[in-house]
Chains A and B, each alone.
Chain A
Amino acid sequence: MRAAVVVDARGLRCPLPVIRLAQHVRDLEPGTVVEVWATDPAAAADVPAWCRMRGQEYLGSREVAEGDDGREDGPRGDHTAYVVRVVAPG
């Protein structure tokens, strides 16, 4: 399943992935599923923690190998996709 919204935070260091996520979620309808793509190891702890602190639903994560995303732009290489369902208004 591909999420409706992708926040590409690859190559960004903490706390920027979570800031980008929060900025996007502000404009989204409840129920929207968002994927955050990040290479920063801190995102593994911080995306779920953000969901808990801000009342959003954390759905899990998956590892994505280089080339899987089918996009040519942005930094290449392995990353993790963190999946979030918007519950509360951003």
Chain B
Amino acid sequence: MANPSPEAPPGAPVEPGAGPRRRAVLDAAPGPLHPVAARTLAAAVDAGWADPRRLHAEGRTARRLLDDARAVLAEGLGVRPEEVTFAPDGPTAVRWMAQGLSYAARRRGARVVTSAVEHSAVLLPARHDAAQAGDRTLARVVPVDRLGRVDLDAWAREVAVPGTVSALLQHANGEVGTLQPLGPAHEACRAAGVPLGVDAQASLGRVAPPRAFDVLAGDATSWGGPGGLGVLVVPDRTRWLLPGPADPDAALHGPSRHLPWVPLALAAAEAWQQTAATRDSDAAEAFALVDELRAVAAGVTDVEVVGDPVDRLPHVLTFSALYADGEALVREFDRHGFAVGSGSACTSSTLEPSHVLAAMGVLTHGNTRITLPLAAVASDRERDVRAFASRIAPVVAAVRAELGATHL
């Protein structure tokens, strides 16, 4: 595959004798496709293009490839292949997860419990549905602590309220990295007879997949797979149904009724195998690199590193700098060759700050978010992180100076 890296911009630091500095991708959500999965995808485009419902040889090949992909993902997620079903992308998988739980229980109630730091694919539909029903209390949003962890006592109280039909909680937060206490949260749900849908979009491929769920949703990009593929796990024991007519191809599609493009499913399965094989060592290395970055960022005046320092995803780091503008930080790091993210309002299309940072009660402006790529797609990851660490203080200082905020 040709190297698609963009040219280094004018003004990017030049390494002696190395030409323009290569780009350091520290915003890998989504990250690049795993190189082995890219080769599998190319091969599957040739071998698995056909409609897997057709009876001819090409169709049967596509069907076999899709079955193989499903089997690989099922094994990796610790479930049976019939329990794995697909969606057009991660956010759609998450929306369907919530919708299927609610719809299956529509005769018993409509109350949904979630946390304040869920993905917008959870929060927006929950609030919309409650507003449509004329009762905003049908969407109960449980607060989180300063680290972004859901308040378990409030969670247990809320899921036990009569009329509650589903609970939705992420495995880990993709913006700040904090892992949620899924085990106790699931216990509380089970005690109340309420199914738990778990959004694992940020965690799959980075840490061991969760076991405590009644429906699970993820996105193939989180484990180095292709875009355009969401995955749902709907165990037999879970009452889950999307609205709409019965599916004549249910055996092929599974409960979501969605047939993915077979090459995407195959590439996702290949990426899963590749990433799972090195997951523990990759995670340990990423965890240590993020620890280094956390220490460096925390040492900069009026910079607060947010999220749980220990009980967290290995590869995510977020910090907020007082008196700095998130958009300017992203631009300035970019100019130095680093792709980073931000949850600050000025970097969003809505001008609203990150609801995650706001719910945690931490500073929303001057925010910088690092999502380390898998080592398999960024061979110089360690060097990139060290180079970035050395840039944090000067870039923050430069952005503050732009705003005339240097002696505060």
Selected A-B contacts with CB under 8 Å, 8 pairs: A14-B364, A15-B365, A26-B408, A41-B352, A42-B352, A44-B358, A46-B363, A50-B322
Judge if B241 is at the interface, Cβ distance under 8 Å: no
With contact pairs A49-B363, A53-B304 given, residues A41 and B345 touching in the complex (Cβ less than 8 Å): yes
Q: Which residues of A have CB within 8 Å of B362?
A: 45, 49
Q: Is the CB of B323 within 8 A of A18?
A: yes
Q: Is the CB of B322 within 8 A of A42?
A: no
Judge if A32 is at the interface, Cβ distance under 8 Å: no
Q: Is the CB of A42 within 8 A of B408?
A: no
Judge if A13 is at the interface, Cβ distance under 8 Å: yes
* Chain B residue with the shortest CB-CB distance to A19: B405
Q: Is the CB of B361 within 8 A of A14?
A: no
* Chain B residue with the shortest CB-CB distance to A25: B408
Q: Which residues of B have CB within 8 Å of A90?
A: 408
Known interface pairs A13-B345, A13-B351, A53-B302; 20 further A-B residue pairs with C-beta atoms within 8 A, sorted by A's residue number: A14-B325, A14-B344, A14-B353, A15-B324, A15-B365, A22-B322, A22-B405, A40-B345, A42-B344, A42-B345, A44-B358, A45-B361, A45-B363, A46-B363, A48-B361, A49-B363, A50-B322, A50-B363, A53-B363, A90-B408
Interchain CB contact (< 8 A) of A18 among B322, B351, B357: B322
Question: In whole Å, how far is A35's beta carbon from the nearest beta carbon of chain B?
Answer: 19
The B351-408 residues at the A interface (CB cut-off 8 A) are: 351-353, 357-358, 361-366, 403-405, 408
Interchain CB contact (< 8 A) of A41 among B324, B351, B361, B363: B351
Question: In whole Å, how far is A56's beta carbon from the nearest beta carbon of chain B?
Answer: 12
Q: Is the CB of B358 within 8 A of A45?
A: yes
Q: Which 7 A-B pairs have the closest CB atoms?
A: A15-B365, A49-B363, A14-B365, A45-B358, A22-B408, A42-B353, A42-B345
**Cα-based distance from A2 to B273 in the complex (angstroms):** 64
Question: In whole Å, how far is A36's beta carbon from the nearest beta carbon of chain B?
Answer: 14
- A interface footprint on B336-353 (CB within 8 Å = 1, 0 otherwise): 000000001110000111
**Cα-based distance from A41 to B352 in the complex (angstroms):** 6
The A19-38 residues at the B interface (CB cut-off 8 A) are: 19, 22-23, 26
Q: Is the CB of B403 within 8 A of A42?
A: no
Give the interface of B toward A (CB within 8 A).
Answer: 302, 304, 320, 322-325, 344-346, 351-353, 357-358, 361-366, 403-405, 408
Question: In whole Å, how far is A48's beta carbon from the nearest beta carbon of chain B?
Answer: 7
* Chain B residue with the shortest CB-CB distance to A13: B346
Q: Is the CB of B403 within 8 A of A19?
A: yes
Q: Is the CB of A22 within 8 A of B364?
A: no
**Cα-based distance from A22 to B351 in the complex (angstroms):** 22
With contact pairs A50-B322, A53-B302 given, residues A18 and B365 touching in the complex (Cβ less than 8 Å): yes
**Cα-based distance from A26 to B362 in the complex (angstroms):** 22
Q: Is the CB of A41 within 8 A of B403?
A: no
**Cα-based distance from A15 to B404 in the complex (angstroms):** 11
**Cα-based distance from A49 to B345 in the complex (angstroms):** 15
Q: Which residues of A have CB within 8 Å of B345?
A: 13-14, 40-42
**Cα-based distance from A41 to B405 in the complex (angstroms):** 21
Q: Which residues of B have CB within 8 Å of A52?
A: 361
**Cα-based distance from A41 to B344 in the complex (angstroms):** 11
Judge if A16 is at the interface, Cβ distance under 8 Å: yes
Q: Is the CB of B323 within 8 A of A15?
A: yes
Q: Which residues of B have CB within 8 Å of A19?
A: 323, 403-405, 408
**Central interface residue in B352, B353, B365, by most chain A CB within 10 Å:** B365
**Cα-based distance from A48 to B362 in the complex (angstroms):** 8
Question: In whole Å, how far is A89's beta carbon from the nearest beta carbon of chain B?
Answer: 12
Q: Which residues of B have CB within 8 Å of A41?
A: 345, 351-353
